[in-house]
Structure 1
Amino acid sequence: MRRSAALILVLMAMASVRTGFAATTYEVGESSRVFKPGHARNWRGAKTEALVTTIWYPANADGTLYEEPQVIGPLDGPLFLAGGAVLNAPIANSQVKFPVVMLSHGTGGSAMQLAWLGTVLARHGFIAVGVNHPGNNALEPYTAEGFVLWWERATDISDALDALVIDPTFGPHVDEARIGAAGFSIGGYTVLELAGARTDQERFLKACETDPTLHKCVVPEMKGMGDPEQMLKKVRASSAESMARGGASYRDPRVRAVFAIAPAVGQAFDPDGFREVTIPVVMVVGAADRIAPVATNAGRFLALMPNAHLTVLPDGVAHYTFLDTCTDVGKAKLGVYCGDAAGVDREKVHGTVSEMAVKFFDKNLR
């Protein structure tokens, strides 16, 4: 699925957050890269052995650039709004270097599903970099390894960051002392791993064996992938090396703060799993989230991280409220992914959360 221009009215730009380097607002540029790390790595059976990456960034606001609406889906029937941007615009020259926020999408999604956040970060002076996680993104066939080897997602982010800093266009504008990460759902888990959290997948699997109907064990994106035991059998045969290091640390010391939206797989962490997390962490989740319920996920994490803060959004905000805003076509075709409860304004929720993220990163990436 991809976006097109001139189909849907672009959302109005958010007001400036007047703190630190986010005080100035910019036009939003958008570009893409296909990063191919120079070292051997686990591609989780993905067809595309590369990190397909979307980059939102501050663009020159000289009166000659005009943002156009971006969408996800076919040209004649887009499914999601993906903010406004100028494709391949020149990066702003008003500041030599910008802070960076790496973005990690949810299970089976794509970087573009975080366009609502990436575009706002770029407008406020950040370079936002979203990676399509191999084997677990909507632009190519899913793989069992993509769903099972969660910790490899952290290596995707670190490899993409390596590539970004040497990119001839963006590298010279990256402030390597000011790097953060944000993610949604299993992407929220991913950024916690980047902060130093360690996974114990066996805890998660035992919880699923006890009650296979738990939402965290069977999510809509896994439809057609087989039951967990079938998936595990395949992955243990194909990726024994990765399975053996599932509990390792994937801390990236360049990442100085993380913003986790509806972080998932709470049962994958034992009480010591967050012992090495010392950087600032903010979590945001909806009170009506049934995929990653507060009590067994973000609420549990909060008690285990001394520098963490949690905001629970009330009034029917659920898991998929944090996907891009759906078009009428999307609402008709995509069911649960677009089915917000009565009274929930997805765009308003996005505005609240993206403003929180700007303020959080502005404060902690000094």
Structure 2
Amino acid sequence: MVRASTWCRLALAAACALASAAHAATGLTVLAAPADSGPVTVFYPTAAPATPVRRGPFTLNVAVDAAPVAGNRRLIVISHGSGGSPWEHTDLTQVLVAAGFTVAVPEHAGDNWHDHSAVGPASWRHRPHEVTQAIDAMAADPRFSPLLDLKRVGVYGMSAGGLTALTLAGARWSPALLARHCEAHLAEDFPTCVGLSTELTGGPLDALRMGMARRVIRWKFESETALEGWTDPRIAAAVAAVPMAAPIDMPTLSAPGIPLGLVRAGQDAWLAPRWHIDAVRATCAGCVLVADMTEAGHGSILSPTPPDLPPRAARLLNDPPGFDRRTLDGVYAAMRDFFVQNLLP
């Protein structure tokens, strides 16, 4: 049981965070890309008025390149999913900015909306480094460095970005562990193992598809047994939503080094909960289930939603029947409160 005095302190911290940016709009700017990564998109509190702007297929209500104002001095870095961009996380970022946070979203090299050349372990290895690079970029930017205390940074990641968040919380993983998982559970977790390259249909060709998938997975991943890991001492809390977790050596997550929150989607057809987030929960006694979206699919946490997806991606990412997008307000608020509790004094 949490004592009433603790709840009071948490409530006061949340109230102060919200008050700090109560009259602020969301600013938007982009920092130059490091040599081996993509640009870093930054959402932040500003006193300038927001206006509708177009970014790809999305219309955002933001103030482009406006002067930042002081918020709560805390930074959160978002690691997007495979093939993702900053834009489908805009509604979450605006909730965080309204609480005073500044949010940085690095575009992951080789695994983003316009470049799929490094999807999978190559990107998974590099993503945590890109989070560190994003923090460094914020520290070096004269607009933001005076307004931020970078000794306590938060990380949020979704899907492949969820693996990034888990890695930064202490998880270690290897391609060989993914190969072992796919050898044992290929039919039950087929999209995890093959991505969008093909799918099972229930027809006579499924056996051929599975046989080919096993051969490719063994060839690509079976020999890569070294455990991968990366931490940054500035990161003080993380949230992983619908994370890729099959490659993880689960005992490394038994006692995360930082507060770790999880967001679950009960109808996830891309990363089946049993083999991913539920496996993390079974191992990590100290993890907090920030939100359990029982009727949600893999992409239901995204808002605004990516339009005009190819059919196979749409089947895996679009909302399943019965999911109510209005519930995302509560999910985003719960994530905001987790970061308020674990990052603010």
More helix by share: 2
Aligned equivalent of 2:26, options 25, 28, 33: 28
Q: Give the match for residue 68 of structure 1.
A: 51
Q: Which residue of 2 aligns with 1:88?
A: 65
Deviation, structure 1 residue 231: 7.8
Residue 72 of structure 1 and its aligned partner are, at CA, apart by 4.5
CA pair 33-282 structure 1, distance change in 2 beyond 3 A: same
1:228-247 pair list within 5 angstroms: 230=216, 247=227
Residue 230 of structure 1, CA deviation: 5.0
Q: 1:229 to 1:273 in 2, by over 3 A?
A: farther
Which segments of structure 1 move beyond 4 Å, counting only runs of 4 or more? Answer: 226-236, 331-334
1:58-116 deviations in whole A, cap 9, x for unaligned? 112xxxx322234553xxxx3x45x42111111015x5x61000000011112222112
Q: Where does residue 128 of structure 1 map in the other structure?
A: 103
Q: Which residue of 2 aligns with 1:179?
A: 153
Correspondence list, 1:108-187, <5 A: 108-140=83-115, 142-143=116-117, 145-149=118-122, 150-187=124-161
In 2, Cα distance between equivalents of 1:185 and 1:70: 27
Unaligned runs of 5+ in 1: 1-16, 38-48
TM-score scaled by length of structure 1:
0.76
Q: TM-score, normalising length from structure 2?
A: 0.81
Q: Residues 229 and 332 of structure 1: is their aligned pair in 2 closer, same or farther, counting only changes over 3 Å?
A: closer
**Cα separation, partners in 2 of 1:332 and 1:186, compared to 1, 3 Å:** closer
The superposition leaves residues 235-255 of structure 1 with CA deviations (integer Å, 9 ceiling, x where unpaired) of: 99xxx9xx67x5133011111
Residue correspondence of structure 1 range 1-366 to structure 2 within 5 A: 18-24=14-20, 25=22, 26-36=24-34, 49-60=36-47, 65-73=48-56, 78=57, 80=58, 83-93=60-70, 98-140=73-115, 142-143=116-117, 145-149=118-122, 150-213=124-187, 214=189, 215-220=191-196, 230=216, 247-264=227-244, 266-275=245-254, 277-310=256-289, 311-314=291-294, 316-326=295-305, 330=308, 335-336=314-315, 339-346=318-325, 348-366=326-344
Contact 1:101 1:126 in 2 (8 A): yes
Report the residue type matching 1:135 in the other structure: G
Identity %: 24
SS in 2 for 1:362: helix
Q: Which runs of 5+ in 2 are unaligned?
A: 1-12, 200-211
Give the aligned CA root-mean-square deviation in angstroms. Answer: 2.9
Q: Secondary structure at the match of 1:267?
A: coil
The one-letter code of the counterpart of 2:228 is A
Alpha-carbon contact 1:29-1:85 (below 8 Å) kept: yes
